[in-house]
Amino acid sequence: MLNNKYGKLTVVKLLYKKKRNYYECICDCGNIVIKREDRLIEQGENAFCGHCVHINTAKWRKDLKELYGLEIVFPSNTKHPLSHTVKNIYSRCFNPDDPFYHNYGGRGITVEVTK
């Protein structure tokens, strides 16, 4: 298990054993996270720390605007129940770094914006 790579995570050491093994992992973005062994195996090539997705969010929003003329704007204080869902839909369709991009944008599925 040590030094194995799961998605963007590299296992560096076993932290402790209880009912399940817990490992310290380093993400490609440099973030250090603790993951359960069964979760790493289950997530496989889609394993990531979560922090790197936020780093790439600004990049893909800029790309959306430049390539498609789309701009996703939610006020920072928005509490609309669908704001998170809409962000995830756009990410899955247009962000190649999204873990589920291959199921949506990678297959040619896009979102049509109407005014």
Residue 12 is predicted with a pLDDT of 92
- State residue 80's pLDDT score: 65
Count of domains for the chain: 2
Residues 23 and 57 in one domain: no
Range of the domain at 24: 5-46
Please give the pLDDT value at position 39: 83
* Judgement on whether residues 40 and 70 belong to the same structural domain of the protein: no
pLDDT in tens, the chain (115 residues): 788 888 878 899 988 777 888 989 888 877 788 888 888 887 777 777 766 665 566 666 666 667 666 666 655 555 667 767 777 888 888 888 888 888 888 898 887 765 5
φ, ψ of residue 20 in degrees (nearest 5): -130, 155
The pLDDT, as a whole number, for residue 69 is: 66
Output phi, psi for 76, to 5 deg.
-60, -25
One domain, residues 79 and 58: yes
Which residue in the block uniquely carries the two structure tokens 């603790």? 34
Residue 72 located in a structural domain: yes
- Does the residue 115 lie in any domain? no
Q: Which is nearest to 115 in space by CA: 77, 71, 75?
A: 71
Distance CA 82, CA 88 (A): 10
**Could you tell me if residue 112 is inside a domain?**
no
41 and 59 in a single domain? The answer is no
Q: In the prediction, which pLDDT does 55 show?
A: 56
Clarify whether residues 72 and 39 are in a common domain. no
Residue whose token pair is 């996270």:
33
Q: Rounded distance, CA 75 to CA 57, Å?
A: 16
Residue 89 has a pLDDT of 85
Residues 18 and 59 in one domain: no
